[in-house]
Amino acid sequence: MTDRPATTTTTLAASPTASVAITQEELTRLLQEAAPRQGQWSQDDYLRLTDSTNRLIEWTDGCIEVLPMPTDEHQSIAAFLYEGFVDFVRAHGGKVLFAPLRVRIREGAFREPDLVLIRDAHDTRRQNRFWLGADLTVEIVSPDEPKRDLVDKRRDYAEARIPEYWIVDPRTETVTVLVLQGEAYVEHGVFGRGAQATSVLLDGLTVEVSAVFDAAG
């Protein structure tokens, strides 16, 4: 005889004298049914959801997207870059933060960059609940959906008028630095191992590309 897996149950109290036990699967279904349908999430819905979790969740035109849990490689690269940026930017009066932090791209869209930077820590776009823009963003390409960072966010950050966007790609071990010209980004450079990635916005900032990817070792 095969043992049947245990079923997790949750008790919901309807009154001080009555209760009903439901399975975890049923509870999950009820919560899903109570949530807005894709395409119908409002900004307030999105903000309430992300106020109650540290998962990375982005929102565009009524639809939410739950991003994958970061890997050790991803977090090691992000930590290395954060340390490099913060040393430079703090000395010049700026601010660097890391995900999760909401950045409003436009009315109807929020992203949560891996790193986000503003040159003046007192810039009014730096709000407590979410930022209203940024001067530079960094994304580490996710293997589940590279198009998100390479195409979608390139378009979104340009629409948000963010002057500089760095794409860090562990698959090719390259750092692509994009600068805004008009309404779109152009490549300042694609830097590989042995090269120094440089910023246009932050004059004097350099990042050793080999060290970026070795940080994950």
pLDDT digits (tens, 9 = 90+) for 173-202: 999 999 999 999 999 999 999 999 999 999
Q: Delimit the domains of the chain by residue range.
A: 72-214
- pLDDT on residue 102: 97
By the 8 A CB rule, do 210 and 70 touch? no
- pLDDT on residue 27: 54
- pLDDT on residue 78: 98
Q: Give the three-class secondary structure for 30.
A: helix
The candidate with the shortest Cα–Cα distance to 192, out of 217, 167, 164, 162, is 167
- pLDDT on residue 21: 65
By the 8 A CB rule, do 209 and 197 touch? yes
- pLDDT on residue 214: 98
> What does the DSSP assignment read for 109-178?
EEE--SEEEES-TT-TT--SS-BS--SEEEEEPPTT-HHIIIIIHHHHHHHTT-SEEEEEETTTTEEEEE
- pLDDT on residue 23: 72
Q: Is the peptide bond before 170 cis (omega within 30 degrees of 0)?
A: no
By the 8 A CB rule, do 163 and 180 touch? yes
- pLDDT on residue 55: 87
Question: Consecutive 10-residue runs of the chain (217 residues): their mean pLDDT?
Answer: 45 44 63 77 92 90 91 97 95 95 96 98 97 98 93 97 98 98 97 98 97 95
CATH superfamily, domain 72-214, is tt1808, chain A (3.90.1570.10)
Q: State pTM to two decimals.
A: 0.82
The per-type count for the chain, helices as H runs and strands as E runs, is 6, 14
Enter the DSSP assignment of 55.
S
- 135-163 residue pLDDT tens: 999 999 998 899 999 999 999 999 999 99
Counted residue by residue, the chain has a size of 217
